[in-house]
């Protein structure tokens, strides 16, 4: 039974829905094969990206399937306990209902206290242990040495939802997308995993009738696409934000991102801690120094300790290169 679901995950080519897109079966298999007295499973419902809310939608509409997926994972890998790790507002909104579904099963609802970076799986582990919420050095990976030093499986809540569907033969290679911004029908939609930005906007009746550009993947770290690039697939956290090309205040948008990154950086490494501060500082000046910005972007991508710092340049660089010509 246990190997059967791992085989199904592999055949379905299910990848993580939190943004990284790592093959799910590899994680499950690694924790299953690990030799240890204890093991843990964690459903990550941090969802710290701005303007991304598909995990919240699933927690509200499909909590039974998420918990079913967590239980399935626990039985498969031989876990002693499971956790559903939620950001503050999700914890307050969904805790009681989730606990009612869980009943006496060894699954605990945990409130995140580390902000956006708390969604990174090693920072999540630190948070669960009551430590400072910041990423750990890899290796070892969480599948080898995770929560309290034991092998731990960490997946996004949507990944557990699809694992439950796959176990019942109800997976049809779709995923959930958050669609927002200057659209008529903002919301969360289930569509094919290989859908392009154009297909998503057209099929949801959200096609812009004005000059526009998009931010895809994430609401803060997502890259900018012009209206000539809409055939590109939407990966990452599955978000699409539509912006009016002529009405959007581009510098204010960039400042919004810089404020978010400045607020959410854990401050563990100097490139990220200093880099996001300098970006915020540069954007506040009357004249933006593009050369200095590019130097900071390069440093962030090459030397940041975790994916948070390395992802910071993407929205700024693509906005500057494609839309906002400094």
**What band does 238 get if pLDDT is binned at 50, 70 and 90?**
confident
Element (H, E) at 108: strand 107-111
262-267 mean pLDDT:
85
Numbers of helices and strands, H then E, in the chain:
13, 9
Same structural domain, 151 and 291: no
* Residue 321 CB neighbour total at 10 angstroms: 11
Q: What three-state secondary structure class fits 166?
A: helix
Please tell me whether residues 234 and 258 are part of one structural domain: no
Q: Report the pLDDT averaged over residues 132-144.
A: 89
**DSSP assignments along 227-284, one per residue:** TT-TTSB--TT-EEEEEETTTS-HHHHHHHHHHHHHHH----SHHHHHHHHHHHHHHT
Evaluate if residue 176 carries a pLDDT over 90: yes
Rounded mean pLDDT, 266-274: 87
Same domain, 178 and 212: yes
Last residue of a domain, one of 244, 269, 289: 244
CB 240 within 8 A of CB 217: no
Task: Look at residues 135, 144, 189, 140 and name the one whose alpha carbon lies nearest to residue 35.
Answer: 144
Which CATH number belongs to the domain containing residue 203 in this structure?
A: 3.10.20.600
CB-based burial label for 175 (10 Å; 0-12, 13-18, 19+):
buried
Q: Which of 215, 244, 273 is the last residue of a domain?
A: 244
Question: Do 161 and 180 belong together in one domain?
Answer: no
Q: What is the pLDDT of residue 217?
A: 86
Tens digit of pLDDT for each residue in 197-218?
A: 999 999 999 999 999 999 998 7
Q: Is the pLDDT score of 72 beyond 80?
A: yes
Phi and psi for 111 in degrees, rounded to 5?
A: -90, 120
> Crossing angle for the helix pair 270-283 and 290-303, nearest 10 degrees?
160
Same domain, residue pair 22 and 162: yes
Average pLDDT over residues 55-77: 97
Same domain, 11 and 158: yes
- Whether 122 shows a pLDDT value over 60: the answer reads yes
Average pLDDT over residues 94-105: 97
Instruction: Decide if pLDDT at 248 tops 80.
Output: yes
Q: Which of the 8 DSSP states describes residue 141?
A: P
Instruction: Identify whether residues 205 and 86 lie together within a single domain.
Output: no
Mean pLDDT of 60-69: 98
Please give the distance of CA 220 from its chain centroid, rounded to a whole number: 11
Is the predicted pLDDT of residue 39 greater than 90, yes or no? yes
pLDDT in the model for residue 114:
66
Q: Which domain holds residue 10?
A: 2-167
The predicted model gives 229-256 an average pLDDT of: 92
Q: Provide the CATH number for the domain around residue 257.
A: 1.20.1440.230
Percent of the chain with pLDDT over 70: 98
Q: What is residue 197's predicted lDDT score, i.e. its pLDDT? A: 95
DSSP for 173-212 reads: SEEEEEEEES-SS-EEEEEETT-BHHHHHHHTT---SS-E
| pLDDT of 252 higher than 60 | yes
Query: Does residue 124 share a domain with residue 85?
Result: yes
Q: What is the CATH number of the domain that holds 163?
A: 3.40.50.11540
pLDDT of the residue at 326:
56
Model confidence at 2: pLDDT above 60: no
Q: Which residues contact 169 (CB under 8 A, 6 or more apart)?
A: none
Question: In this predicted structure, what is the pLDDT of residue 301?
Answer: 93
> Of 194, 214, 244, which marks where a domain is finished?
244
Which residues, in sequence order, are CB contacts of 274 under 8 Å at separation 6+?
A: none
- Determine the length of the chain: 326
Model confidence at 1, pLDDT cuts 50, 70, 90, reads very low
160 and 179 co-located in one domain: no
Average pLDDT over residues 181-199: 96
Same domain, 97 and 233: no
Question: Is the domain of 119 the same as that of 196?
Answer: no
- What CA–CA distance (Å, rounded) separates 49 from 111? 17
Tell me which DSSP letter residue 53 carries.
-
Same-domain status, 229 and 258: no
Instruction: Write the CB contacts of 1 (distance below 8 Å, at least 6 apart in sequence).
Output: 75
- Domains: count for the chain: 3
Full-model pTM: 0.92
């Amino acid at each position: 039974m246990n190997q059967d679901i791992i085989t199904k995950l592999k055949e379905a080519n299910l990848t993580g829905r939190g943004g990284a897109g790592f093959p799910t079966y590899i994680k499950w298999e690694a924790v299953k094969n690990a030799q240890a007295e204890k093991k843990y499973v964690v459903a990550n419902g941090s969802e710290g990206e701005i303007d991304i809310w598909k995990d919240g939608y699933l927690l509200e509409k499909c909590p039974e399937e998420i918990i079913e997926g967590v239980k399935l994972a626990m039985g498969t890998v031989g876990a002693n306990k499971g956790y559903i790790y939620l950001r503050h507002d999700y914890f307050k909104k969904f805790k009681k209902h989730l606990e009612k579904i869980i009943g006496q099963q060894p699954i605990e609802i945990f409130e995140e206290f580390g902000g956006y970076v708390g969604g990174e799986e090693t920072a999540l582990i630190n948070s669960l242990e009551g430590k400072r919420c910041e990423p750990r050095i890899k290796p070892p990976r969480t599948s080898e040495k995770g929560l309290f030093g034991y092998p731990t499986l960490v997946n996004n809540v949507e990944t557990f939802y699809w694992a439950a569907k796959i176990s019942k033969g109800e997976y049809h290679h779709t995923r959930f997308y958050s669609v927002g911004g200057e659209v008529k029908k903002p919301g969360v939609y289930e569509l094919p995993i290989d859908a392009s930005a154009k297909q998503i906007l057209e099929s949801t009746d959200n096609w812009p009738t004005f000059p526009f550009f998009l931010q895809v993947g994430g609401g803060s770290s997502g890259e900018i696409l012009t209206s000539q690039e809409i055939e590109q697939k939407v990966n990452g956290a599955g978000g699409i934000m539509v912006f009016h090309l002529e009405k959007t205040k581009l510098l204010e948008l960039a400042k919004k991102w810089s404020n978010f990154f400045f607020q959410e950086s854990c401050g563990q490494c100097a490139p990220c801690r200093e880099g996001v501060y300098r970006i915020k500082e540069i954007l506040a000046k009357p004249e933006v120094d593009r050369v200095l910005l590019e130097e900071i972007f390069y440093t962030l991508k090459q030397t940041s300790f975790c994916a948070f710092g390395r992802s910071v340049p993407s929205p700024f660089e693509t906005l500057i290169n494609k839309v906002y010509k400094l």
